Amino acid sequence: MILLAFRHGLRAAELCATCAGTKYTSMQRVLHVRVKNGNPQHASLARKQLPALRRLQRESVPSPFVFVSERGTPFTTAGFARMIERAAVGGGLELKAHPHMLRLACGYALANKDHDTRWLGHRSITGTAIYTALASNRFKDFLARLSKYTN
């Protein structure tokens, strides 16, 4: 759950509502996600994510959701938040971690690698702009690149 939330910038509610109808084959590596604004989204899965998702699918009770609790009920956002808090404590972080930090980290990672952050699904461009404002390398060698076009 943590890896998918970070890699795809998913909100906790989107992650918990992810449908298990997806077949994880080598040809079709897509996860169906219901997003905040109601338009379904499809997240492409990395090849290394497939074995873990297949194992989870085999070992979990049958459910229309990818992530279920030990009782077989859909994983809740509160349960996911507790998981993040425990992982942060176990990792030695001295801050109160919450699931949205994974989404923010995804946005910053994308911006720092000069990838498009629009697919995170913000309603306005100002929601996306926060990632590019803090990307340390956005203007690295900017003047040198600019001088190539102005000379």
Q: Which residues are catalytic?
A: 11, 36, 100, 103, 122, 131
How many CB atoms are located within 10 Å of the residue 79 CB? 16
In this prediction, residue 109 carries a pLDDT of: 82
| Phi, psi (deg, nearest 5) at residue 129 | -65, -25
Interatomic CA distance for residues 86 and 92, integer angstroms: 10
- Helical segments of the chain, H only: 2-8, 12-16, 50-59, 77-90, 100-112, 125-133, 142-150
Interatomic CA distance for residues 4 and 103, integer angstroms: 10
Q: What is residue 143's three-state secondary structure?
A: helix
In this prediction, residues 39-68 reach a mean pLDDT of: 81
pTM: 0.71
What's the number of CA atoms in the CB half-sphere (13 Å) around residue 136? 1
Expressed as residue numbers, the domain containing 115 is 2-150
In this prediction, residue 11 carries a pLDDT of: 87
Identify whether the C-beta of residue 61 lies closer than 8 Å to the C-beta of residue 72: yes
Query: What is the DSSP code (8-state) at residue 118?
Result: G
Identify whether the C-beta of residue 128 lies closer than 8 Å to the C-beta of residue 120: yes
The CATH number of whichever domain residue 121 belongs to comes to 1.10.443.10
Number of domains, the chain: 1
The dihedral region occupied by 92, where left means phi > 0, alpha psi between -120 and 50, and beta the remainder, is left
pLDDT in tens, 92-150: 988 899 999 898 888 888 877 777 776 676 666 666 666 666 555 555 665 565 555 55
